Structure 1
Amino acid sequence: MPEIPRVPAHWHFPADAASVPRARRAVIDSLPHALRPHLGEDLRLLTSELVTNAIRHGTCPRNESLIELVLWPADGHYWLAVSDPGTGKPTVTHPDPTSETGRGLLLVDHLAATWTVRPRPTRGTSVIAGLALRPHP
């Protein structure tokens, strides 16, 4: 009989700065305790960066935008998808050393085993990042 997979954890948060710590807490609280020493800090940082980027670049302050997060284990990774209603395609930038912003996706690129940007089927964009359950050699 095949192993039944875990149901993905799923949240919606308002597109405002107060949602960043709430999203971090929700994601970490849903991670199995045994995985927190290995994945906890990286997952916390990924959540912060992706939710902050979604709020800053993928939402419009004039409407009631929501940020959607989904966390699930599959294929030897824990996957985090952060979605927003925006249509832009986030890309890694290389800001000058004095710049105070622009390093979020550099951190994602460094922490994640793999990541991508995908358009949503109806409206918006998702950034999906995978953290390996086993450390990279």
Structure 2
Amino acid sequence: MRFTSSPRGARLARRLVAHRLDDWGYPYASEANETVTLIAAELTGNAVRHGHVRGRDFHVRLVLTASVIRIDVTDTRTEEQPLVSCAADPETDGGRGLFLVSQLATRWAVIPRPSGPGKTVWAELQV
């Protein structure tokens, strides 16, 4: 799905992920739902904060296979590539999101957007 590149869009995307996982048999209070929803919150928040291009939306794709839940978040900003800091400054308010994703996800990566400028950050959770 496509969402406006705004805090409201990120919030709606996070809610959609939680709802879809519940529909797929991972209830809201389950570890899988809470973990993937937290990952979604971090990735969509980053897409809005660091991947925003005026007039362009970000995309979220959620896929369930036999034992893996995968979320892809795609934005259209090419020049800002995400960095993972293992030692975020404890005095700052940010800088821990992708480190958190790296600790929660089974696998994750950043790849070029397949159809145009931008990038996709994806994460998988083994369930």
Confirm or deny a common fold (TM above 0.5): yes
**Aligned match of 2:60:** 69
**1:110 partner amino acid:** Q
Partner of residue 106 from structure 2, selected from 103, 113, 122: 113
- Give the number of the structure whose alpha-carbon radius of gyration is greater: 1
With the length of structure 1 as denominator, give the TM-score of the two structures: 0.82
Q: Quote the offset at 1:35 in angstroms.
A: 1.9
2:120 aligned partner? 126
Alignment gaps of 5+ in structure 1: 1-10
Deviation at 1:73, TM superposition (A): 1.5
Q: CA deviation at 1:109?
A: 0.4
Deviation of 1:33 (Å): 4.9
Q: Tell me the SS of whatever aligns to 1:27.
A: helix
Q: Which region of structure 1 is more displaced relative to structure 2, 39-48 or 73-82?
A: 73-82
CA spacing shift, 1:80–1:53, aligned 2, 3 Å: same
TM-score (normalizing by structure 2): 0.89
Match for residue 4 of structure 2 among 8, 11, 14: 14
Give the number of equivalent residue pairs. Answer: 121
Q: What does residue 57 of structure 1 align with?
A: 50
- Give the counterpart of 1:43 among 36, 39, 44: 36
In structure 1, the residue corresponding to 2:88 is in which secondary structure?
coil
Query: Does structure 1 residue 89 correspond to structure 2 residue 50?
Result: no
Q: Which runs of 5+ in 2 are unaligned?
A: none
Distance in 2 between residues matched to 1:54 and 1:75, nearest whole Å: 28
Instruction: Name the SS of the counterpart of 2:26 in structure 1.
Output: helix
1:82-108 residue CA offsets vs partner (Å, 9 max, x unmatched): 000011321102321111110000110
Give every structure 1 segment of 4 or more consecutive aligned residues whose post-TM-superposition deviation is greater than 4 Å: none
Q: Equivalents in 2 of 1:46, 1:38: separation in Å?
A: 12
